[in-house]
Amino acid sequence: MQQWTYVPSRSPVAKVQRRVVQWRRACMAQVESDRPVVTFTFDDFPKSALNGADVIEKHGGRGGFYACTSRMGQRSPVMGEMFDAGTLAELRHRGHEVGAHTHSHLDCAQSRLEKVERDIGENLVALSEAGHTETVSAFAFPYGETSYAAKRWVGDIFATGRGILPGINSGEVDRSQLRATELGASAMHRRRALAALKAALDANAWVFFFTHDVGTSPTSYGAPAELIDELAQRAVDAGAILAAPTLGAALCGVID
């Protein structure tokens, strides 16, 4: 049960470290795009995230699914059935991107770099053993927690690392701690998501959204399909591209 309920440290030291790490940019990159790019992402991830894939595809786009492999085939007491090898195959077939999210859902801010490397290595091996033999080039930090050393290493291994600091990615960014806005069921979530989308549309910027489960009555970690639908519709109407993480990075000039 512990692995499903871990909460990152809220100590003053952890808060200061979080702030310092946020400002220490590990992998500088420049977002330059003549069209806004919107990337919907799903962490951990429960099978119901496929409902999110359905919505994004309806609008002609694709999304990113960050797989925490120790949870593969498990049943989360919170989010229900987690992805399995069949889910990964289906996502590949439908053109979505499978990303890494550590094997054990590791708090990368509280772990030595060797442990982070080992855990992400296990994550990639487990994905490969589950039939996902493609190169994995997208990563998301569990809980958004990271260290400067972990960001540097993730930037060497992956094209993108996504955090959970809210905001849009425009101008100079850290491609190993890209900003992302959480989607959820509350009016506050919707308001913040619409504001982030508008900022990205106005600036031809890159905006990430993240959530976990998707449905008509999502958990407190998940988002309603209607919110994804509304955001995707507004984005496409404004000329944005709905792209998976690595394609988004390429479209924005963040990677070659």
Tell me the closest approach of the beta carbon of residue 170 to Zn ion, in angstroms.
25
Q: Which stretch binds Zn ion (CB under 5 A): 137-145, 202-210, 222-230, 232-240?
A: 137-145
Tell me the closest approach of the beta carbon of residue 66 to Zn ion, in angstroms.
7
Cβ closest to Zn ion, residue 82 vs residue 231 = 82
User: Alpha carbon of 226 to those of 181, 215, 232, 235: distances in Å?
Assistant: 16, 8, 10, 14
Of 178, 177, 181, 65, which is closest to residue 130 (Cα–Cα)?
65
Of 237, 236, 252, 186, which is closest to residue 62 (Cα–Cα)?
236
Cβ closest to Zn ion, residue 44 vs residue 107 = 44
User: Alpha carbon of 201 to those of 36, 118, 170: distances in Å?
Assistant: 5, 39, 11
Cβ closest to Zn ion, residue 142 vs residue 184 = 142
Pairing of strands 223-224, 241-242: unpaired
Total residues at interface with Zn ion (CB under 5 A): 3
CA distance 247 to 97: 9
Tell me the closest approach of the beta carbon of residue 144 to Zn ion, in angstroms.
9
Q: Check: CB of residue 249 under 8 Å from CB of residue 175.
A: yes
In this structure, what DSSP letter does residue 135 have? P
Could you tell me the two tokens for 12? 């003053």
Tell me the closest approach of the beta carbon of residue 212 to Zn ion, in angstroms.
7
Span 16-75, contacts to Zn ion by CB under 5 A? 43-44
Cβ closest to Zn ion, residue 121 vs residue 221 = 221
Q: Check: CB of residue 218 under 8 Å from CB of residue 137.
A: no
CA distance 184 to 222: 6
Tell me the closest approach of the beta carbon of residue 45 to Zn ion, in angstroms.
8
Cβ closest to Zn ion, residue 43 vs residue 107 = 43
Cβ closest to Zn ion, residue 170 vs residue 219 = 219
Tell me the closest approach of the beta carbon of residue 101 to Zn ion, in angstroms.
6
C-beta nearest to Zn ion: residue: 43
Q: Which position among 99, 142, 161, 224 is part of the footprint of Zn ion (CB under 5 A)?
A: 142
The secondary structure element, H or E, covering residue 18 is helix 12-23
- The alpha helices in 24-177, defined as continuous H runs, are 49-58, 85-93, 113-129, 148-157
Span 180-219, contacts to Zn ion by CB under 5 A? none
Q: Which stretch binds Zn ion (CB under 5 A): 12-20, 23-31, 81-89, 139-147?
A: 139-147
Tell me the closest approach of the beta carbon of residue 239 to Zn ion, in angstroms.
31
Q: Which stretch binds Zn ion (CB under 5 A): 12-20, 89-97, 141-149, 214-222?
A: 141-149
119 binds Zn ion, rule: CB under 5 A: no
Longest CA–CA span in the chain (Å) reads: 46
Binding stretches for Zn ion (CB under 5 A): 43-44, 142
